[in-house]
Amino acid sequence: MSEHDDQPPLPPGAGSPLQPGPPMSVNAPISDTTINRTALLVGGVIAVLVVIVVIVILVAVVSRR
């Protein structure tokens, strides 16, 4: 008989993990440069779309006169 037989079983999630290290679903951290570049690209695309929409609205208003 071992010394662990007298202890009640651990609740779910308690104890050491079966596999050491982070889970497979955890990716490496994203760098600040990548986040800033992506935000700049998305902001630029949105700005271009806003300019196109404003131009289309202005052309529609001017052509009605």
Note whether residue 55 is domain-resident. Answer: yes
Note whether residue 38 is domain-resident. Answer: yes
The pTM of the full predicted model, rounded to 2 decimals, is: 0.55
Note whether residue 45 is domain-resident. Answer: yes
The domain of 52 spans 32-65
Note whether residue 1 is domain-resident. Answer: no
Q: What's residue 12's pLDDT? A: 81
Domain count, the chain: 1
Dist CA 39 CA 13 (whole Å): 38
Q: What's residue 2's pLDDT? A: 53
Q: What's residue 20's pLDDT? A: 81
Dist CA 36 CA 23 (whole Å): 27
Note whether residue 65 is domain-resident. Answer: yes
Return per-residue pLDDT of the chain as tens, 65 residues: 455 567 777 788 787 777 787 777 778 888 999 999 999 999 999 999 999 999 999 999 999 87
* Tokens of residue 47, six digits: 């700005």
Q: What's residue 62's pLDDT? A: 93
Note whether residue 49 is domain-resident. Answer: yes
CA angle 34, 37, 42 (to 5 degrees): 125
Dist CA 19 CA 30 (whole Å): 24
Note whether residue 17 is domain-resident. Answer: no
37 DSSP assignment? H
Note whether residue 19 is domain-resident. Answer: no
